[in-house]
Structure 1
Amino acid sequence: MNAVILIPARLDSSRLPKKMLADLEGEPLIVRTWRQALQSKYADRVVVATDSREIAGALEAYGAEVVMTSPEARCGTERIAEAARSIDAEVFLNLQGDEPLIDPGNIDRCLEPFLGLDPPDCSTLVFPMLSDDCQQIEDPNVVKVVLNRHGNALYFSRSPVPFQREVYASTQFYRHIGLYAFSADVLQRYAALPPSMLELAESLEQLRLLENGFRIRCVTTTVDHPGVNTQEDLELVRRILRASLSR
Protein backbone atom coordinates (compact mmCIF):
# COMPACT_ATOMS: atom_id res chain seq x y z
CA MET A 1 0.00 0.00 0.00
CA ASN A 2 1.33 3.40 -1.02
CA ALA A 3 -0.45 5.83 1.32
CA VAL A 4 -0.23 9.61 1.56
CA ILE A 5 -1.65 11.80 4.33
CA LEU A 6 -3.23 14.97 2.99
CA ILE A 7 -4.00 17.79 5.43
CA PRO A 8 -6.49 20.39 4.14
CA ALA A 9 -5.83 23.81 5.68
CA ARG A 10 -7.62 27.08 4.97
CA LEU A 11 -6.95 30.42 6.61
CA ASP A 12 -10.55 31.55 7.04
CA SER A 13 -12.45 30.07 9.98
CA SER A 14 -15.78 31.43 11.17
CA ARG A 15 -15.43 30.41 14.82
CA LEU A 16 -11.69 31.02 15.30
CA PRO A 17 -10.04 33.30 12.71
CA LYS A 18 -6.62 32.17 11.45
CA LYS A 19 -6.66 29.18 13.81
CA MET A 20 -4.20 27.24 11.64
CA LEU A 21 -1.54 29.79 12.54
CA ALA A 22 -2.43 30.04 16.23
CA ASP A 23 0.62 29.66 18.47
CA LEU A 24 0.94 26.36 20.34
CA GLU A 25 3.97 26.49 22.58
CA GLY A 26 6.14 28.21 19.98
CA GLU A 27 4.85 26.53 16.80
CA PRO A 28 1.81 27.19 14.58
CA LEU A 29 -1.12 24.84 15.12
CA ILE A 30 -0.90 23.45 11.56
CA VAL A 31 2.80 22.63 12.10
CA ARG A 32 1.90 20.63 15.22
CA THR A 33 -0.68 18.64 13.21
CA TRP A 34 1.88 18.01 10.44
CA ARG A 35 4.47 16.80 12.99
CA GLN A 36 2.00 14.30 14.48
CA ALA A 37 1.16 12.97 11.00
CA LEU A 38 4.85 12.35 10.28
CA GLN A 39 4.83 9.70 13.03
CA SER A 40 2.48 7.39 11.10
CA LYS A 41 4.01 3.97 10.38
CA TYR A 42 1.96 3.31 7.24
CA ALA A 43 2.02 6.64 5.39
CA ASP A 44 4.78 7.31 2.87
CA ARG A 45 4.30 11.10 2.68
CA VAL A 46 2.54 13.93 4.47
CA VAL A 47 1.33 16.83 2.32
CA VAL A 48 -0.61 19.94 3.33
CA ALA A 49 -3.18 21.24 0.83
CA THR A 50 -3.96 24.94 1.23
CA ASP A 51 -5.15 27.99 -0.69
CA SER A 52 -3.25 30.35 1.63
CA ARG A 53 0.28 31.56 0.91
CA GLU A 54 0.52 32.58 4.57
CA ILE A 55 -0.12 29.00 5.72
CA ALA A 56 2.20 27.64 3.02
CA GLY A 57 5.00 29.97 4.13
CA ALA A 58 4.64 28.98 7.78
CA LEU A 59 4.86 25.28 6.89
CA GLU A 60 7.70 25.57 4.39
CA ALA A 61 9.80 27.24 7.09
CA TYR A 62 9.72 23.86 8.86
CA GLY A 63 10.39 21.82 5.72
CA ALA A 64 6.82 20.63 5.16
CA GLU A 65 5.58 19.61 1.71
CA VAL A 66 2.75 21.90 0.55
CA VAL A 67 0.41 21.82 -2.47
CA MET A 68 -1.47 24.99 -3.37
CA THR A 69 -5.17 24.46 -4.15
CA SER A 70 -8.08 26.55 -5.39
CA PRO A 71 -10.10 28.68 -2.94
CA GLU A 72 -13.25 27.30 -4.63
CA ALA A 73 -13.20 23.94 -2.81
CA ARG A 74 -16.53 23.41 -1.01
CA CYS A 75 -15.09 21.17 1.75
CA GLY A 76 -11.84 19.66 2.95
CA THR A 77 -12.34 16.44 1.01
CA GLU A 78 -12.69 18.34 -2.26
CA ARG A 79 -9.51 20.25 -1.41
CA ILE A 80 -7.51 17.06 -0.88
CA ALA A 81 -9.00 15.51 -4.03
CA GLU A 82 -7.61 18.44 -6.00
CA ALA A 83 -4.18 18.01 -4.39
CA ALA A 84 -4.27 14.22 -4.93
CA ARG A 85 -4.44 14.66 -8.71
CA SER A 86 -0.77 15.63 -8.68
CA ILE A 87 0.34 12.82 -6.33
CA ASP A 88 0.87 9.17 -7.21
CA ALA A 89 -0.61 7.02 -4.42
CA GLU A 90 -3.10 4.19 -3.89
CA VAL A 91 -4.63 5.53 -0.67
CA PHE A 92 -5.12 9.06 0.63
CA LEU A 93 -5.90 9.88 4.25
CA ASN A 94 -7.72 13.12 5.04
CA LEU A 95 -6.46 14.57 8.33
CA GLN A 96 -8.01 17.86 9.41
CA GLY A 97 -5.46 20.60 10.02
CA ASP A 98 -6.96 21.51 13.39
CA GLU A 99 -5.91 18.21 15.06
CA PRO A 100 -2.54 19.07 16.67
CA LEU A 101 -2.90 16.26 19.25
CA ILE A 102 -3.91 13.53 16.79
CA ASP A 103 -2.66 10.13 17.91
CA PRO A 104 -0.43 8.66 15.14
CA GLY A 105 -1.82 5.26 16.11
CA ASN A 106 -5.28 6.41 15.09
CA ILE A 107 -3.94 7.39 11.67
CA ASP A 108 -2.57 3.88 11.25
CA ARG A 109 -5.82 2.29 12.50
CA CYS A 110 -7.67 4.20 9.81
CA LEU A 111 -5.25 2.97 7.13
CA GLU A 112 -5.21 -0.68 8.25
CA PRO A 113 -8.37 -1.79 6.35
CA PHE A 114 -6.51 -1.04 3.11
CA LEU A 115 -3.83 -3.58 4.01
CA GLY A 116 -6.30 -6.48 3.81
CA LEU A 117 -7.56 -8.55 0.89
CA ASP A 118 -10.94 -6.79 0.74
CA PRO A 119 -10.20 -3.06 1.13
CA PRO A 120 -13.18 -0.71 1.52
CA ASP A 121 -13.97 2.38 -0.53
CA CYS A 122 -13.32 4.53 2.55
CA SER A 123 -12.44 3.99 6.20
CA THR A 124 -12.97 6.11 9.29
CA LEU A 125 -12.84 5.86 13.09
CA VAL A 126 -15.57 5.46 15.71
CA PHE A 127 -15.44 5.75 19.49
CA PRO A 128 -17.81 3.59 21.60
CA MET A 129 -20.08 5.50 23.98
CA LEU A 130 -22.04 4.25 26.96
CA SER A 131 -25.80 4.10 26.44
CA ASP A 132 -26.34 6.26 29.54
CA ASP A 133 -24.08 9.06 28.21
CA CYS A 134 -27.18 11.09 27.38
CA GLN A 135 -25.45 14.46 27.04
CA GLN A 136 -23.22 13.34 24.15
CA ILE A 137 -25.87 11.19 22.53
CA GLU A 138 -28.34 14.10 22.44
CA ASP A 139 -25.75 16.72 21.43
CA PRO A 140 -26.15 17.62 17.71
CA ASN A 141 -22.47 18.66 17.61
CA VAL A 142 -21.51 15.04 18.38
CA VAL A 143 -21.90 12.94 15.23
CA LYS A 144 -23.22 9.45 15.82
CA VAL A 145 -22.85 6.44 13.51
CA VAL A 146 -24.74 3.17 13.20
CA LEU A 147 -22.81 0.09 11.98
CA ASN A 148 -23.80 -3.18 10.35
CA ARG A 149 -22.45 -6.54 11.51
CA HIS A 150 -19.42 -6.21 9.23
CA GLY A 151 -18.32 -2.89 10.73
CA ASN A 152 -19.51 -0.81 7.80
CA ALA A 153 -21.42 2.42 8.32
CA LEU A 154 -25.19 2.32 7.85
CA TYR A 155 -25.75 5.99 8.65
CA PHE A 156 -24.19 9.06 10.29
CA SER A 157 -26.37 11.58 12.10
CA ARG A 158 -26.42 14.49 14.48
CA SER A 159 -29.57 12.94 15.96
CA PRO A 160 -29.40 10.24 18.67
CA VAL A 161 -29.16 7.05 16.59
CA PRO A 162 -30.15 4.34 17.07
CA PHE A 163 -33.33 5.79 18.54
CA GLN A 164 -34.38 3.77 21.58
CA ARG A 165 -38.11 3.21 21.59
CA GLU A 166 -37.39 0.63 24.27
CA VAL A 167 -34.28 1.18 26.40
CA TYR A 168 -31.88 -1.76 26.25
CA ALA A 169 -28.67 -1.76 28.26
CA SER A 170 -26.95 -3.59 25.38
CA THR A 171 -27.61 -0.82 22.84
CA GLN A 172 -24.23 0.34 21.49
CA PHE A 173 -23.71 3.96 20.49
CA TYR A 174 -20.70 5.19 18.55
CA ARG A 175 -19.28 8.69 18.23
CA HIS A 176 -17.68 9.45 14.89
CA ILE A 177 -14.07 10.67 14.71
CA GLY A 178 -13.58 12.66 11.51
CA LEU A 179 -10.54 10.94 10.05
CA TYR A 180 -10.96 9.36 6.60
CA ALA A 181 -8.89 7.20 4.28
CA PHE A 182 -9.95 6.77 0.63
CA SER A 183 -8.78 4.69 -2.28
CA ALA A 184 -7.42 7.07 -4.92
CA ASP A 185 -10.25 6.25 -7.34
CA VAL A 186 -13.05 6.73 -4.80
CA LEU A 187 -11.62 10.07 -3.65
CA GLN A 188 -11.84 11.46 -7.19
CA ARG A 189 -15.30 9.98 -7.78
CA TYR A 190 -16.51 11.48 -4.50
CA ALA A 191 -15.23 14.95 -5.39
CA ALA A 192 -16.97 14.82 -8.78
CA LEU A 193 -20.38 14.16 -7.22
CA PRO A 194 -22.73 17.03 -6.29
CA PRO A 195 -23.60 17.48 -2.59
CA SER A 196 -26.33 14.99 -1.70
CA MET A 197 -29.69 15.53 -0.03
CA LEU A 198 -28.68 13.80 3.20
CA GLU A 199 -25.32 15.59 3.27
CA LEU A 200 -27.03 18.97 3.03
CA ALA A 201 -29.71 18.06 5.58
CA GLU A 202 -27.25 16.90 8.27
CA SER A 203 -24.26 19.01 7.15
CA LEU A 204 -22.13 15.85 7.09
CA GLU A 205 -20.06 15.37 3.95
CA GLN A 206 -19.52 11.62 4.51
CA LEU A 207 -23.22 11.06 3.76
CA ARG A 208 -22.48 11.87 0.11
CA LEU A 209 -20.56 8.59 0.00
CA LEU A 210 -23.29 6.50 1.62
CA GLU A 211 -26.06 8.06 -0.44
CA ASN A 212 -24.15 7.13 -3.61
CA GLY A 213 -23.57 3.52 -2.58
CA PHE A 214 -19.95 3.63 -1.37
CA ARG A 215 -18.82 1.44 1.52
CA ILE A 216 -17.32 3.08 4.62
CA ARG A 217 -15.48 0.74 7.00
CA CYS A 218 -15.56 1.91 10.62
CA VAL A 219 -12.62 1.07 12.86
CA THR A 220 -13.14 1.26 16.61
CA THR A 221 -10.69 3.18 18.77
CA THR A 222 -10.67 4.09 22.45
CA VAL A 223 -8.14 6.90 21.92
CA ASP A 224 -9.24 10.44 21.11
CA HIS A 225 -7.92 13.95 21.70
CA PRO A 226 -9.66 17.31 21.27
CA GLY A 227 -9.39 19.26 18.03
CA VAL A 228 -9.50 23.05 17.80
CA ASN A 229 -12.68 24.79 16.67
CA THR A 230 -13.10 27.55 19.26
CA GLN A 231 -10.97 29.74 21.52
CA GLU A 232 -11.91 27.46 24.41
CA ASP A 233 -10.63 24.43 22.46
CA LEU A 234 -7.39 26.28 21.74
CA GLU A 235 -6.80 27.05 25.42
CA LEU A 236 -7.52 23.42 26.35
CA VAL A 237 -5.01 22.12 23.80
CA ARG A 238 -2.43 24.63 25.05
CA ARG A 239 -2.86 23.31 28.60
CA ILE A 240 -2.52 19.70 27.45
CA LEU A 241 0.63 20.52 25.47
CA ARG A 242 2.20 22.42 28.37
CA ALA A 243 1.53 19.50 30.67
CA SER A 244 3.04 16.97 28.24
CA LEU A 245 6.14 19.13 27.57
CA SER A 246 6.81 19.66 31.28
CA ARG A 247 7.07 15.95 32.05
Structure 2
Amino acid sequence: MKIISMIPARYSASRFPGKLMQDLGGKPVIVRTYEATIATQLFDEVYVVTDSEIIFKEIEKIGGKVMMSQKEHDCGSDRIAEAVEFMDIDIVINVQGDEPFTDKESLSKLIDVFKDDYDKNIDLASLMVHITDSEEIENPNTVKVIVDRENFALYFSRSPIPYPRDKNAGVKYFKHKGVYAFRKEAILDFYRLPMLPLEASEKIECIRYLEYGKRIKMVETDVLGVEIDTPEDLERAKREWK
Protein backbone atom coordinates (compact mmCIF):
# COMPACT_ATOMS: atom_id res chain seq x y z
CA MET A 1 0.00 0.00 0.00
CA LYS A 2 1.57 3.27 -1.13
CA ILE A 3 0.87 6.14 1.26
CA ILE A 4 1.80 9.74 0.64
CA SER A 5 1.15 13.05 2.38
CA MET A 6 0.00 16.19 0.61
CA ILE A 7 0.16 19.57 2.34
CA PRO A 8 -2.16 22.06 0.58
CA ALA A 9 -0.75 25.56 0.99
CA ARG A 10 -2.81 28.57 -0.10
CA TYR A 11 -1.15 31.94 0.43
CA SER A 12 -4.18 34.22 0.68
CA ALA A 13 -6.05 32.74 3.67
CA SER A 14 -9.19 34.80 4.37
CA ARG A 15 -8.70 35.26 8.13
CA PHE A 16 -4.90 35.59 8.15
CA PRO A 17 -3.39 36.26 4.69
CA GLY A 18 0.19 35.06 4.32
CA LYS A 19 0.04 33.06 7.56
CA LEU A 20 2.01 30.15 6.11
CA MET A 21 4.99 32.42 5.52
CA GLN A 22 4.96 33.87 9.05
CA ASP A 23 8.04 33.18 11.15
CA LEU A 24 7.92 30.37 13.69
CA GLY A 25 11.19 29.79 15.50
CA GLY A 26 13.27 31.08 12.60
CA LYS A 27 11.46 29.32 9.75
CA PRO A 28 8.13 29.91 7.95
CA VAL A 29 5.09 28.03 9.28
CA ILE A 30 4.78 25.99 6.05
CA VAL A 31 8.40 24.84 6.35
CA ARG A 32 7.84 23.81 9.97
CA THR A 33 4.78 21.80 8.91
CA TYR A 34 6.61 20.15 6.01
CA GLU A 35 9.56 19.20 8.22
CA ALA A 36 7.28 17.85 10.96
CA THR A 37 5.48 15.66 8.41
CA ILE A 38 8.76 14.36 6.97
CA ALA A 39 10.02 13.66 10.49
CA THR A 40 7.19 11.17 11.17
CA GLN A 41 8.80 8.79 8.61
CA LEU A 42 5.33 7.42 7.83
CA PHE A 43 5.12 8.30 4.14
CA ASP A 44 6.60 7.13 0.87
CA GLU A 45 6.55 10.79 -0.28
CA VAL A 46 5.61 14.18 1.21
CA TYR A 47 4.61 17.08 -1.06
CA VAL A 48 3.49 20.66 -0.62
CA VAL A 49 0.91 21.65 -3.25
CA THR A 50 0.38 25.39 -3.59
CA ASP A 51 -1.01 28.26 -5.65
CA SER A 52 1.79 30.58 -4.53
CA GLU A 53 5.16 31.15 -6.14
CA ILE A 54 6.40 32.48 -2.80
CA ILE A 55 5.58 29.21 -1.02
CA PHE A 56 6.79 27.15 -3.99
CA LYS A 57 10.22 28.82 -3.90
CA GLU A 58 10.47 28.50 -0.11
CA ILE A 59 9.94 24.72 -0.19
CA GLU A 60 12.18 24.37 -3.24
CA LYS A 61 14.89 26.30 -1.38
CA ILE A 62 15.06 23.68 1.38
CA GLY A 63 15.14 20.82 -1.14
CA GLY A 64 11.54 19.83 -0.47
CA LYS A 65 9.03 18.34 -2.91
CA VAL A 66 6.53 20.94 -4.08
CA MET A 67 3.91 21.16 -6.83
CA MET A 68 2.12 24.17 -8.30
CA SER A 69 -1.64 23.87 -8.75
CA GLN A 70 -2.73 24.25 -12.37
CA LYS A 71 -6.25 25.48 -11.54
CA GLU A 72 -7.96 27.73 -9.01
CA HIS A 73 -9.44 25.73 -6.11
CA ASP A 74 -11.96 26.51 -3.38
CA CYS A 75 -10.61 23.99 -0.87
CA GLY A 76 -7.61 21.86 0.02
CA SER A 77 -9.24 18.59 -1.06
CA ASP A 78 -9.69 19.88 -4.63
CA ARG A 79 -6.08 21.05 -4.69
CA ILE A 80 -4.87 17.62 -3.56
CA ALA A 81 -7.16 15.75 -5.95
CA GLU A 82 -5.73 17.61 -8.94
CA ALA A 83 -2.21 16.80 -7.73
CA VAL A 84 -2.76 13.04 -7.19
CA GLU A 85 -5.08 12.28 -10.11
CA PHE A 86 -2.40 10.56 -12.17
CA MET A 87 -0.21 9.30 -9.32
CA ASP A 88 0.12 5.60 -8.56
CA ILE A 89 -0.91 5.72 -4.89
CA ASP A 90 -3.43 4.08 -2.56
CA ILE A 91 -3.81 6.50 0.36
CA VAL A 92 -3.16 10.23 0.60
CA ILE A 93 -3.09 12.06 3.92
CA ASN A 94 -3.92 15.76 3.92
CA VAL A 95 -1.85 17.57 6.52
CA GLN A 96 -2.95 21.19 6.86
CA GLY A 97 -0.19 23.69 6.09
CA ASP A 98 -0.97 25.65 9.26
CA GLU A 99 -0.34 22.70 11.62
CA PRO A 100 3.39 22.85 12.46
CA PHE A 101 2.85 20.60 15.49
CA THR A 102 1.74 17.64 13.35
CA ASP A 103 2.53 14.48 15.33
CA LYS A 104 3.41 10.92 14.38
CA GLU A 105 1.02 9.21 16.81
CA SER A 106 -2.13 10.77 15.34
CA LEU A 107 -1.10 10.17 11.74
CA SER A 108 -0.23 6.54 12.56
CA LYS A 109 -3.77 6.02 13.86
CA LEU A 110 -5.20 7.25 10.57
CA ILE A 111 -2.99 4.93 8.55
CA ASP A 112 -3.97 1.98 10.76
CA VAL A 113 -7.63 2.53 9.83
CA PHE A 114 -6.85 1.51 6.25
CA LYS A 115 -4.44 -1.27 7.17
CA ASP A 116 -7.26 -2.88 9.17
CA ASP A 117 -9.95 -2.24 6.53
CA TYR A 118 -9.52 -5.45 4.56
CA ASP A 119 -12.82 -5.10 2.69
CA LYS A 120 -12.15 -1.45 1.75
CA ASN A 121 -15.42 -0.22 3.28
CA ILE A 122 -13.90 3.01 4.62
CA ASP A 123 -13.52 5.93 2.21
CA LEU A 124 -11.65 8.30 4.47
CA ALA A 125 -10.52 8.80 8.06
CA SER A 126 -10.06 11.93 10.12
CA LEU A 127 -9.17 13.10 13.62
CA MET A 128 -11.30 14.41 16.47
CA VAL A 129 -10.45 15.78 19.91
CA HIS A 130 -12.67 15.74 22.98
CA ILE A 131 -13.45 19.32 24.07
CA THR A 132 -15.14 20.58 27.22
CA ASP A 133 -14.73 24.37 27.11
CA SER A 134 -18.16 25.94 26.48
CA GLU A 135 -16.71 28.86 24.51
CA GLU A 136 -14.94 26.49 22.16
CA ILE A 137 -18.05 24.34 21.78
CA GLU A 138 -20.08 27.40 20.81
CA ASN A 139 -17.38 28.99 18.63
CA PRO A 140 -18.36 28.75 14.92
CA ASN A 141 -14.67 28.60 13.98
CA THR A 142 -14.49 25.25 15.80
CA VAL A 143 -15.99 22.51 13.64
CA LYS A 144 -17.76 19.89 15.73
CA VAL A 145 -18.48 16.30 14.73
CA ILE A 146 -20.96 13.71 16.00
CA VAL A 147 -20.34 10.01 15.47
CA ASP A 148 -22.15 6.68 15.75
CA ARG A 149 -21.18 3.88 18.14
CA GLU A 150 -18.39 2.73 15.81
CA ASN A 151 -17.01 6.27 15.42
CA PHE A 152 -18.28 6.80 11.89
CA ALA A 153 -19.15 10.45 11.27
CA LEU A 154 -22.84 11.33 11.27
CA TYR A 155 -22.50 15.07 10.74
CA PHE A 156 -20.14 18.03 11.05
CA SER A 157 -21.24 21.52 12.07
CA ARG A 158 -20.08 24.93 13.22
CA SER A 159 -23.03 24.91 15.62
CA PRO A 160 -22.86 23.07 18.97
CA ILE A 161 -23.94 19.54 18.10
CA PRO A 162 -25.73 17.85 19.68
CA TYR A 163 -27.83 20.68 21.10
CA PRO A 164 -27.66 20.36 24.93
CA ARG A 165 -31.38 20.36 25.68
CA ASP A 166 -30.71 17.91 28.51
CA LYS A 167 -27.50 19.09 30.13
CA ASN A 168 -27.32 15.93 32.27
CA ALA A 169 -27.32 13.49 29.34
CA GLY A 170 -23.55 13.02 29.52
CA VAL A 171 -22.89 13.95 25.90
CA LYS A 172 -19.26 14.39 24.83
CA TYR A 173 -18.33 17.11 22.33
CA PHE A 174 -15.66 16.55 19.72
CA LYS A 175 -13.70 19.06 17.70
CA HIS A 176 -12.85 18.00 14.17
CA LYS A 177 -9.14 18.38 13.37
CA GLY A 178 -8.62 19.07 9.68
CA VAL A 179 -6.30 16.15 9.02
CA TYR A 180 -7.73 13.63 6.56
CA ALA A 181 -6.66 10.30 5.12
CA PHE A 182 -8.34 9.43 1.81
CA ARG A 183 -8.50 6.48 -0.48
CA LYS A 184 -7.46 7.88 -3.83
CA GLU A 185 -10.85 7.05 -5.39
CA ALA A 186 -12.70 8.94 -2.63
CA ILE A 187 -10.83 12.20 -3.09
CA LEU A 188 -11.21 12.00 -6.87
CA ASP A 189 -14.96 11.50 -6.41
CA PHE A 190 -15.01 14.59 -4.22
CA TYR A 191 -13.21 16.54 -6.94
CA ARG A 192 -15.71 15.53 -9.62
CA LEU A 193 -18.95 15.85 -7.65
CA PRO A 194 -20.69 19.23 -7.25
CA MET A 195 -21.12 20.96 -3.91
CA LEU A 196 -24.55 20.41 -2.33
CA PRO A 197 -26.55 22.73 -0.02
CA LEU A 198 -25.35 21.43 3.37
CA GLU A 199 -21.68 21.90 2.51
CA ALA A 200 -22.44 25.29 0.95
CA SER A 201 -24.26 26.41 4.10
CA GLU A 202 -21.72 25.26 6.69
CA LYS A 203 -18.59 25.82 4.55
CA ILE A 204 -17.21 22.46 5.75
CA GLU A 205 -15.83 20.43 2.87
CA CYS A 206 -16.05 16.98 4.49
CA ILE A 207 -19.86 17.31 4.55
CA ARG A 208 -19.75 16.65 0.80
CA TYR A 209 -18.54 13.13 1.47
CA LEU A 210 -21.49 12.47 3.79
CA GLU A 211 -23.98 13.97 1.36
CA TYR A 212 -22.79 11.52 -1.30
CA GLY A 213 -22.83 8.52 1.04
CA LYS A 214 -19.12 8.13 1.79
CA ARG A 215 -18.03 6.54 5.07
CA ILE A 216 -15.77 8.62 7.30
CA LYS A 217 -14.07 6.87 10.20
CA MET A 218 -13.24 9.30 13.00
CA VAL A 219 -10.22 8.60 15.17
CA GLU A 220 -9.97 10.17 18.61
CA THR A 221 -6.70 11.79 19.59
CA ASP A 222 -5.69 13.80 22.64
CA VAL A 223 -3.08 15.81 20.73
CA LEU A 224 -4.49 19.31 20.38
CA GLY A 225 -1.56 21.06 18.70
CA VAL A 226 -2.01 24.62 17.46
CA GLU A 227 -3.85 25.44 14.24
CA ILE A 228 -2.71 28.85 13.04
CA ASP A 229 -5.86 30.62 11.82
CA THR A 230 -5.30 34.06 13.38
CA PRO A 231 -2.41 36.28 14.53
CA GLU A 232 -3.31 35.29 18.11
CA ASP A 233 -2.87 31.61 17.18
CA LEU A 234 0.58 32.44 15.80
CA GLU A 235 1.61 34.05 19.09
CA ARG A 236 0.37 30.97 20.95
CA ALA A 237 2.34 28.74 18.56
CA LYS A 238 5.49 30.77 19.20
CA ARG A 239 5.09 30.29 22.95
CA GLU A 240 4.50 26.57 22.42
CA TRP A 241 7.53 26.30 20.14
CA LYS A 242 9.79 27.69 22.84
Q: Same fold (TM over 0.5)?
A: yes
Q: Does 1:175 align with 2:170?
A: no
Give the corresponding residue for 1:34.
Answer: 34
Structure 1 residue 155: Cα displacement: 0.4
CA displacement, residues 150-201 of structure 1 (integer Å, 9 cap, x when unaligned): 1100000111111232222521221111110100111101111111111011
AA matched with 2:191: A
- Check conservation: 1:41, 1:108, Cα contact below 8 A: no
Which letter does structure 2 place at the counterpart of 1:200?
A
Partner of 2:207: 207
The percentage of counterpart residues that share the same residue type is 39
Q: Which moved further from structure 2: 210-219 or 83-92?
A: 83-92
CA–CA distance in structure 2, aligned partners of residues 221 and 108 of structure 1:
11
Q: State how far apart, in whole Å, the 1-side matches of 2:57 and 2:11 are.
A: 12
Q: Which ranges in structure 1 are unaligned for 5 or more consecutive residues?
A: none
Alpha-carbon separation, structure 1, partners of 2:231 and 2:167: 37
Give the structure-1-normalised TM-score: 0.92
Equivalent in the alignment of 2:128: 126
> What amino acid is the match of 1:240?
E
Task: Determine the C-alpha separation between the residues in 2 that align with 1:52 and 1:86.
Answer: 22
SS at match of 2:39: coil
Note the alpha carbon deviations across 1:96-115, whole angstroms, 9 max, x for none.
11111122222222222011
SS of 2:79 mapped into structure 1: helix
Does the alignment pair 1:85 with 2:82? Answer: no
What corresponds to 2:216 in structure 1?
216
**TM-score normalised over the length of structure 2:** 0.94
Alignment of 1:88-237 (within 5 A): 88-116=88-116, 117-119=118-120, 120-130=122-132, 133-237=133-237
Count of paired positions: 240
Query: Partner letter of residue 156 of structure 2?
Result: F
Instruction: Please report how far the alpha carbon of residue 41 of structure 1 lies from its aligned counterpart in structure 2 after TM superposition.
Output: 4.1
Aligned-pair Cα RMSD in Å: 1.4
Q: 1: CA distance between counterparts of 2:172 and 2:61? A: 46
Q: Distance in 2 between matches of 1:207 and 1:139?
A: 18
Are the structure 2 counterparts of residues 41 and 170 from structure 1 closer, same or farther at C-alpha, using a change threshold of 3 Å? farther
Question: C-alpha separation between the residues in 1 aligned to 2:9 and 2:196?
Answer: 24
CA distance in structure 2 between the partners assigned to 1:233 and 1:82 by the alignment: 30
Q: Which consecutive unaligned segments of at least 5 residues does structure 2 have?
A: none
Distance in 2 separating the partners of 1:160 and 1:17: 28
